[in-house]
Amino acid sequence: MIEKIEPVQDVKRRRDAVLSSFVDRVPFLKFMGITFDRRGNELTGIMNFDPKLIGNPVVERLHGGGTASFLESAAIITLAWKNIWDAMEAGEIDLENLEGGALPPLPKTIDLTIDYLRPGLPRDAYARATVNRSGRRYASVHVEAWQDRREVLFAQATGHFLMPYEMRP
Amino acid sequence: MVKPNAAQQAFTQNLPLCQALGMEVTDVDEGTATLIMPYSPELIGDPTTGVIHGGAVSALMDSASGLAVYMHPENKGHTATIDLRIDYMRPAAPNKSITAHAEVYHATRSVAFLRATAWTDDRNRPIAQATGAFVFTKKKKTS
Tell me if A27 is assigned to some domain: yes
Q: Which amino acid is at A87?
A: A
Rounded Cα–Cα distance for residues B100 and B27 (Å) = 10
Q: Tell me how many domains chain A contains.
A: 1
- By Cβ distance, the residue of B46, B56, B80 closest to A119 is B80
Tell me if A91 is assigned to some domain: yes
Tell me if A2 is assigned to some domain: no
- By Cβ distance, the residue of A53, A70, A111 closest to B88 is A111
pLDDT score for A86: 93
Which domains, and CATH codes, for chain B?
Answer: 6-135 (3.10.129.10)
Q: What is the tens place of the pLDDT at every residue in B9-54?
A: 888 899 999 999 999 999 999 999 999 999 999 999 988 889 999 9
Tell me if A60 is assigned to some domain: yes
CA-based torsion, B7, B78, B113, B85: positive or negative: positive
Query: Structural domain of residue A85, as residue ranges?
Result: 8-167
Among A167, A166, A160, A165, smallest CA distance to A109 is for A160
- Cβ–Cβ < 8 Å for A145, A70: yes
Task: Give the CATH number, domain containing residue A46.
Answer: 3.10.129.10
Confidence of residue B143 (pLDDT cuts 50, 70, 90): low
Among A158, A169, A166, smallest CA distance to A71 is for A158
Quick one: which H or E segment has residue A115? strand A108-116
Q: What is the tens place of the pLDDT at every residue in A93-139?
A: 888 888 777 788 999 999 999 999 999 999 999 999 999 999 989 99
Q: Which residues of A touch B60 (CB under 8 A)?
A: 65
